[in-house]
Amino acid sequence: MRPTRAALTLAATALAPALLLASPAFAAQSAPAFATTVSAASDAPGSNVDEMSDDDVRVEIARIIGDPDTGKAVYAAAQKALDGTIEDQRYFLKTGRWIAQFEDDRVATFRILHIARQNNDKAVIREATKALETGTPEALRAFLETGYRLARAEDDAVAIARILATADPKTDKAVIREANEALDAHTPEALRAYLETGYRLARAEDDRVRVFRILADPTISDALRTAAEEVIEGTPEELRYFIEVGQYEVG
């Protein structure tokens, strides 16, 4: 069921203090892309291997080794098979590869869980834990291919609702506008894009308006005016620093 805006905001309001501590580092919270891709050459363990020539078997293993998305366990097993006999190589494509993939998937899921616990991403924690407790190759693969994406979207929606709960309607107009657009789109990609880049840029837009308002005040000091003029075209981080700290150092 799609969460309502009111429900998200209600849940987020109670957690707003945590957001205030974490908000400058949204982009850093994004979990890395783990190497968990299964080769498209085989739709199921061992499929078509018996029909492959010896050369085709070796080419397929070499392709797996050269794939940048191949996990460490699969890579090691593929190297070992390629150094062995043709029987070793066929066994790898039929069976050994999938055993190694299971190992890589467990490692990837544990890494995601570790990061999620650091960030208190409750939906990701819930789904990763469920996959690990089920403990089957199918459960882990389903989590990595679809479950993680959907669970992170659930957590992202809550994080954006937290931003809305703490935003000032008078001064955070761009932040509120972009947050609402992301929630209305309600796709994992839109939610993630807002947290990784959109929020930072929207806040910079609001901060730039704040600086313009400072410059519009004829009573400010020359030092403050100079500092504001220097930062007006600055980076989002420079604008944020000026609004939070810099203006008071020169005011």
Determine how many CB atoms are found less than 10 A away from the CB of residue 130: 13
Distance CA 245, CA 7 (A): 35
Q: How far is CA 99 from each of CA 17, 32, 85, 94, 102, rounded to the nearest angstrom?
A: 44, 23, 19, 10, 5
Whether the per-residue pLDDT at 245 is higher than 90: the answer is yes
Distance CA 200, CA 205 (A): 9
Distance CA 152, CA 157 (A): 9
Q: What is the pTM of this model?
A: 0.73
Q: What percent of the chain has pLDDT over 90?
A: 78
DSSP state of 196: I
Query: Per-residue confidence at 109, pLDDT binned at 50, 70, 90?
Result: very high
Burial of 21 (0-12, 13-18, 19+ CB in 10 A): exposed
Span 49-75, mean pLDDT? 94
Query: Per-residue confidence at 121, pLDDT binned at 50, 70, 90?
Result: very high
Query: Per-residue confidence at 251, pLDDT binned at 50, 70, 90?
Result: low
DSSP state of 251: -
CA atoms 103, 106, 148, 201: torsion sign: negative
When the pLDDT of each residue in the chain is averaged and rounded to a whole number, the result is 86
User: CB of 113 within 8 A of CB of 125?
Assistant: yes
